[in-house]
Structure 1
Amino acid sequence: MAAGPGIKPKARGAPFGSGRSAANYPHLVAQRLGLVLVDVTFSGATTAHVLRDEQRGAPPQVQALDGSEYLVTVTIGGNDVGYVPYLMAAGLPRFASSIPVLGRAVREMLDPANRDAALAEVGASLRAVGQEVRRRAPQARVLFVDYLTLLPPVGSPAAPLSPAEADTGRRIADTLERLTATAAAETGCEVVAAADASRGHHAWSAHPWTTRPGLPLPGRAAPLHPNAAGMRAVADLIVDGIG
């Protein structure tokens, strides 16, 4: 969500598979504030990849911090709970759940109990991220940037998702939003409320900041991710919030 997969142009030197765009919100914020940017955003990252695990050979993201930082932005937690993967699975044709191997993964992803179990754990993981970033960058302003709103409000269609699947997606998003704000408050960080600011710019709206379910296409923002307008909007929120 922070890397910007599919948004042109690709960031120079971006690792393979990172989906890192030179027009993602970290790049836009750094340009507008005149800051030197160290961008370690990586598509598919979890809180474990921020704190301790390598990702496709890239070191844990907190290792990029050396204490000289003025500003640190963090968008994380969605992959811990399978937020976008759940919506992607829900958008597949119904016969996908009966295909060998793929079907089992789809069924597991769509199981609400699995999502609830992950949501029960992600709050502690978000707090750990806030604590470690604060420890490594004690002079920085640390901003948790929550997720742009993907789904329309209750009662509005979100084809190809069923109403029940959309409701589950909203519940995941709302819980992530709440837990992110709590983790920030408990660790001395701040929140950029991208979710709230984008409620009228969901993927099914007239002026979306995110994309709908579908197949990844070359030269286009990844499905169920921010588009270029969304990245510009998040950058505006951050710059305006810093003052």
Structure 2
Amino acid sequence: MTSYVALGSSFAAGPGIDPILVPGCARSGRNYAQLAAGRLGYDLVDVSSGGATIDDVLTRPQALLAGGTVPPQVQAVGPDADLVTVTVGGNDVDYLLTLLRCSARADPEGVPLPARAFFGTPIDLAAVHAALAVLPDRLAQLVGEVRRRAPRARVVLVDYLTVVPDQATPAFPMNEEHRLLCADVGRRLEAATAAAAREAGAELVTASAASRDHAVGSAEPWVTGWVFGDLLGGGVAPYHPNAAGMRAVADLLVEQLSAHPAR
């Protein structure tokens, strides 16, 4: 049986999509890895975790919002792995945090009271730009470590679904300056992932491109809008993949694996 290890952040884990298997990691039993593995009959080890950065995947235990830690995700990759998928990098560049801070400025009442002070903190654009500049090399380093641990595995980078719509809506409260800023960060995250795949020789699934017409507030959105669930318990998080989005990414991954021979 094909051995599959799934690594990544919340866009891999699937907060708010029932059933939640590991609340502290917001890991769904119907995220794209779970869906693809089920369809293909693969033996899946899914260690994706909401809030994870590249360091949390590579080198350090991740501190969870609800308390406790989980080991570095790459420890789940062994020499017998046949497939490893990776969706990470957004937290390294504060993508979601920037989205949330910008929407919180437009609609502070929409933020749960305990989180208002945090989301009201300044946006550090210099730090965001600096992190984006080094992201391709960081992702390529991660691919290299996966290959060191699993020399025969297919390594597939799966980038982030498109979040930002062409204009603000009630589901996406934000002024135009901030909307353009967030759209730019999303595009640069997409470009960084593609650059890393080229640099490291990994395969690439472009969920971003496939979801251009499925951003927040579209007729058929693949991501959630400005809504907060129980974040500590794996509930719905704003601007994250919804069930339809995860099904779409699973379709893209299955297509990639089926249409292209193993390397």
TM, length-normalised to structure 1: 0.90
Residue 106 in 1 paired to residue 120 in 2? yes
What letter corresponds to residue 43 of structure 2 in structure 1?
Answer: V
> How far apart are the structure 1 equivalents of 2:90 and 2:130?
14
Cα offset for 1:28?
0.4
The answer to whether residue 78 in structure 2 is matched with residue 66 in structure 1 is: yes
Alignment match of 2:190 (pick from 177, 180, 204):
177
1:56-135 alignment runs, 5 A limit? 56=63, 57-93=69-105, 103=117, 106-108=120-122, 110-135=123-148
Shift of 1:126: 0.9
Of the three residues 11, 15, 18, the one matched with 1:5 is 15
What is aligned with 1:44?
Answer: 51
**Residue 18 of structure 1 corresponds to which residue in structure 2?**
25
Cα deviation, residue 94, structure 1: 5.6
Q: Evaluate the alpha carbon distance shift between residue 95 and residue 212 of structure 1 in structure 2; reply closer, same or farther with a 3 A threshold.
A: closer
Over 3 Å counting, the alpha-carbon distance change for 1:8 and 1:104 in structure 2 is: closer
Measured against aligned partners, the alpha-carbon deviations of 1:212-231 in whole angstroms (never above 9, x if no partner) come to 12322589632110000000
Q: Give secondary structure in 1 for the equivalent of 2:20.
A: coil
Shift in Å, 1:160: 1.1
Q: What letter matches 1:234 in structure 2? A: V
Write the distance in 1 (CA, Å) between the matches of 2:118 and 2:234.
31
C-alpha change, 1:136 and 1:219, in structure 2 (3 Å) is: closer
Provide structure 1 residue ranges, at least 5 long, that are not aligned to the other structure. none
Q: Is the 8 A contact 2:20 2:234 kept in 1?
A: no
- What residue identity is the alignment partner of 1:210? V
Q: 1:232 to 1:65 in 2, by over 3 A?
A: same
**Pairwise CA distance, 1:117:** 2.0
Q: Deviations over 1:100-148 (max 9, x none)?
A: x96576343x232232122123222111111111111111111100000
8 A contact 1:134–1:187 mirrored in 2: no
Displacement of 1:207 after TM fit?
Answer: 0.2
The answer to whether structure 1 residue 223 and structure 2 residue 233 are counterparts is no
The match for 2:168 among 137, 144, 157 is 157
Percent identity of equivalent pairs: 45
Counterpart secondary structure, 1:210: coil
Mapped partners of 2:161, 2:137: distance in 1: 22
Structure 1 residue identity aligned to 2:30:
A
Structure 2 runs not aligned, ≥5 long: 1-10, 64-68, 259-263
Q: Report if the CA contact (8 A) 2:37-2:43 is conserved.
A: yes
**Helix, strand or coil for the counterpart of 2:26?**
coil
* 1-structure distance, mates of 2:15, 2:117: 26
Normalized per residue, which structure has more strand? 2
For 1:138 and 1:238, the matched residues in 2 are separated by 21
**What is the Cα deviation at residue 95 of structure 1?**
9.0
Q: Which residue of 1 aligns with 2:66?
A: none
The alpha carbon displacement at 1:77 in A equals: 0.2
Provide the rounded CA distance (Å) in 2 between the counterparts of 1:206 and 1:76.
27
| Separation of aligned partners in 1, 2:229 and 2:116 | 18
Contact kept, 8 Å, 2:227 with 2:236, in 1: the verdict is no
Provide the aligned length of Structure 1 versus Structure 2.
Answer: 234
**Closer/same/farther in 2, CA of residues 209 and 102 from structure 1, 3 Å limit:** closer
Is the Cα–Cα contact under 8 Å of residues 150 and 202 in structure 1 kept in the other structure? yes
CA RMSD of aligned residues (A): 2.1
Is residue 112–residue 168 contact of structure 1 (8 Å, CA) maintained in 2?
Answer: no
1:133-144 matches, cutoff 5 A: 133-144=146-157
